[in-house]
């Protein structure tokens, strides 16, 4: 140790240039520098892999939480649909009961109106008479008024000749009393009067155009056009046809009845929508299968 190597001839050999270069401090530092980047790269890759593993773990946990929340939401939606179906079923039952009640009320109302109409059958309605002109006796005033304006003979019994009185009044073009035009008509019940008033717009335009018309009982309108004589049952029907004929009339919209309002406010239930969708999907699948079958059967045999 500590001595130079001696060859067989007893002389010392000098180290070569390669040996000197390998054992120099500069070469040692270069080898360490080449090794450090590789180690740094390996450490970086390890950190990236660790972060990826952590990210995958977090993603799995988040997906699990999302699935759990979706499951809870689906349960709540199913429960809500069940409650909605039950509520809609109750609403439909209530609507059916309400529809029956409306029919019963309408029947009773018609009976009452019929009784009211019968009680008014012998009455007369006089328009445009100033209040107070009757004086102390309404009966004496009406008798004097009718005999003077309609020129009725004294033999006419006013109590039982209502139709005769109306015919005479309607037959005159104009009935005057104290210089004012007076109109006589039947004593209709309020519901019929309201329906007859709905024709006021149509009658105004017809009168301006000089077209003759009649208002048959209870609330109709017959118009004598040059090309025909239609009979209208509602003011909306009359004004719509008149507008189509070119008359400058405003279309009158009829009021909806309770039954019409109820039928318009109904809706389709969730169960019915689901059944409709299932039916549509089933029909669509059947149509698609039929189209496929026709294409296959219509194709040439050699294909």
Q: Is 124 left (phi over 0), alpha (psi -120 to 50) or beta?
A: beta
How far is it, in rounded angstroms, from Cα 254 to Cα 235?
A: 7
Instruction: Give yes or no for a cis peptide into 246 (omega within 30° of 0).
Output: no
How far is it, in rounded angstroms, from Cα 200 to Cα 79?
A: 56
Tokens of 197: 């008033």
What are the CA-CA distances from residue 31 to residues 16, 23, 37, 303 (Å)?
Answer: 21, 12, 11, 74
pLDDT digits (tens, 9 = 90+) for 226-279: 989 999 999 999 999 999 999 999 998 877 777 777 777 666 666 666 677 778
How far is it, in rounded angstroms, from Cα 232 to Cα 207?
A: 17
How far is it, in rounded angstroms, from Cα 143 to Cα 152?
A: 10
Are 113 and 121 in contact, with CB atoms under 8 Å apart?
Answer: no
pLDDT of residue 269: 62
Tokens of 219: 């609330």
pLDDT of residue 267: 64
Sign of the C-alpha dihedral computed for residues 296, 299, 302 and 303 taken in this order: negative
pLDDT of residue 6: 43
DSSP output for 116-132:
HHHHTTT-EEEESPPTT
Q: What is the mean pLDDT of each run of 10 residues along the chain (303 residues)?
A: 44 51 50 63 82 85 88 89 85 85 88 82 81 80 82 69 76 80 82 87 92 88 93 92 92 77 67 72 83 71 47
The residue written with tokens 């309607």 in the block is 170
Sign of the C-alpha dihedral computed for residues 108, 113, 116 and 121 taken in this order: negative
């Amino acid at each position: 140790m500590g001595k130079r190597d001696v060859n067989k001839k007893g002389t010392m050999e000098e180290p070569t240039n390669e040996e000197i270069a390998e054992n120099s401090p500069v070469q040692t530092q270069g080898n360490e520098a080449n090794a450090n980047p590789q180690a740094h790269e390996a450490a970086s890759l390890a950190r990236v892999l660790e972060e990826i593993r952590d990210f995958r773990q977090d993603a799995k946990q988040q997906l699990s939480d999302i699935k759990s929340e979706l499951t809870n939401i689906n349960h709540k939606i199913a429960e809500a649909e069940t409650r909605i179906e039950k509520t809609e079923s109750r609403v439909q039952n209530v609507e059916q009961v309400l529809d029956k009640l409306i029919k019963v009320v309408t029947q009773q109302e018609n009976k009452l109106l019929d009784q009211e109409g019968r009680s008014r059958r012998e009455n007369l309605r006089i328009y445009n008479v100033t209040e107070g002109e009757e004086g102390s006796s309404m009966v004496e005033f009406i008798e004097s008024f009718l005999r003077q304006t309609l020129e009725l003979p004294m033999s006419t019994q006013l109590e039982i000749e209502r139709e005769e009185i109306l015919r005479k009044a309607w037959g005159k073009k104009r009935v005057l009393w104290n210089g004012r035009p007076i109109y006589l008509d039947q004593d209709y019940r309020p519901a019929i009067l309201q329906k007859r008033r709905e024709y006021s717009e149509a009658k105004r335009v017809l009168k301006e155009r000089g077209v003759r018309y009649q208002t048959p009982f209870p609330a109709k309108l017959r118009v004598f056009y040059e090309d025909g004589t239609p009979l209208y049952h509602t003011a909306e029907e009359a004004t719509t046809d008149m507008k189509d004929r070119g008359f400058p009339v405003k279309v009158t919209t009829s009021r909806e009845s309770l039954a019409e309002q109820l039928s318009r406010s109904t809706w389709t239930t969730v169960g019915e929508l689901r059944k409709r969708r299932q039916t549509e999907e089933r029909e669509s699948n059947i149509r698609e299968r039929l189209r496929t079958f026709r294409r296959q059967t219509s194709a040439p045999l050699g294909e």
